[in-house]
Amino acid sequence: LSEITGVIPALVTPFDENENLDEARMRSIVEFLIGRGINGLYLTGSTGEAFMMTLEERKRALEVVVDQVKGRIPVIAHIGAISTRLSIELAQHAEKAGADALSSVPPFYWGFSQDQVIGYYTDITNSTNLPMIAYNVPLAGLFGFDMIKRLSEIKGVEGIKYTAPTHFEIMRIKAEIGKDFIIYSGADEMAMSGLSFGADGIIGSFYNLIPETFLGIYDAVKSGDMARAKDLQETANAIIFFSLSRNPIAAIKRGMAWLGADAGYCRKPFGNFYDAESEAKLKEDFRGLKR
């Protein structure tokens, strides 16, 4: 995983007006993002509306992206599902399709025990040769340091996507688990903090929309220019908080269209800003932003 660093959008999944996977739009947003300098792609995660999709659709989305990327940047496939069996099916498909790494949320909803979660990651990593990025996110239940340590001991689990609301553990992971355990900071509004605490890269939703701002934060932190990083983070956060209060995935998709790459519709029950009235209101509110 050590070669997968930098700014990695958790790619949105474009659907058409009938909620079908929109392969043409998918290809065009991939080109748009590569053209803007991003360092990798993270597919079918929460931003990618994975849990709204069938396994076949998730497989197809990955195939389309791998075909479009053609090895120019690394592709990480989020293969998380609640049952190990479904995740293994996606993981083995991802390996065959040409993904560079896997990632998965822990199984959620039933409140699985720590041993069951360890078993989940062990079974998946035993089923392919791809490195696995575990996913620490409040929506699926946060791990805590001892659990992260146990996960890091599983052969094949080589890193973590860290979307917890505090960052002190990032430093502790690097100190106590090791520098080679790769960390991707997952809260876009704290990208500067995650990177300055030692994260190797950042994976998140808003890198679909304003990747340059985060490429700037990444470079500024790496070169020690914290004043510049903070200034860019403030700009990013104005856009993030504006979107979070509105329906963020749909707002990101519509914002991408304004910038030249129409990312299509969201699946219900998410809403959209596609009708003239709600789009005009979104634009007007956005123009009122202070920064």
- Residues numbered 205 to 264 that lie near ligand NAY (CB under 6 A) are 205, 240, 244
- Extract the runs of DSSP E, i.e. beta strands, from the chain: 6-9, 41-43, 75-78, 101-104, 132-136, 157-162, 182-185, 201-204
Report how far residue 170's alpha carbon sits from residue 161's, in angstroms, rounded to the nearest whole number.
10
Cβ 250 to ligand NAY shortest distance, Å: 13
Report how far residue 262's alpha carbon sits from residue 252's, in angstroms, rounded to the nearest whole number.
10
Alpha-carbon Rg of the chain, whole angstroms?
18
Question: Of 135, 184, 207, 218, which one is the catalytic site residue?
Answer: 135
Report how far residue 205's alpha carbon sits from residue 85's, in angstroms, rounded to the nearest whole number.
27
Cβ 241 to ligand NAY shortest distance, Å: 9
Report how far residue 75's alpha carbon sits from residue 177's, in angstroms, rounded to the nearest whole number.
25
Q: What's the full length of the chain, in residues?
A: 291
Give yes or no: 161 in active site: yes
Give yes or no: 149 in active site: no
Report how far residue 172's alpha carbon sits from residue 59's, in angstroms, rounded to the nearest whole number.
36
39 binds ligand NAY (CB under 6 A): no
Q: Identify which range of 40-48, 89-97, 112-120, 150-158 contacts ligand NAY by CB under 6 A.
A: 40-48
Which amino acid, 231? Answer: D
Nearer Cβ to ligand NAY (169/188): 188
Report how far residue 242's alpha carbon sits from residue 251's, in angstroms, rounded to the nearest whole number.
9
Nearer Cβ to ligand NAY (120/135): 135
CA angle 118, 132, 122 (to 5 degrees): 30
Which residue, judged by CB position, is nearest to ligand NAY in the bound state?
Answer: 45
CB 64 within 8 A of CB 93: no
Nearer Cβ to ligand NAY (28/136): 136
Cβ 78 to ligand NAY shortest distance, Å: 6
Question: Of 59, 161, 174, 253, which one is the catalytic site residue?
Answer: 161
Q: Identify which range of 43-51, 52-60, 114-122, 126-134 contacts ligand NAY by CB under 6 A.
A: 43-51
Report how far residue 227's alpha carbon sits from residue 95's, in angstroms, rounded to the nearest whole number.
41
Report how far residue 146's alpha carbon sits from residue 166's, in angstroms, rounded to the nearest whole number.
16
46 binds ligand NAY (CB under 6 A): yes
203 binds ligand NAY (CB under 6 A): yes
Nearer Cβ to ligand NAY (34/244): 244
- Residues numbered 136 to 195 that lie near ligand NAY (CB under 6 A) are 137, 139, 163, 186-189
* Chain residues that interact with ligand NAY, rule: CB under 6 A: 10, 42, 45-48, 78, 137, 139, 163, 186-189, 203-205, 240, 244
Catalytic machinery residues: 135, 161
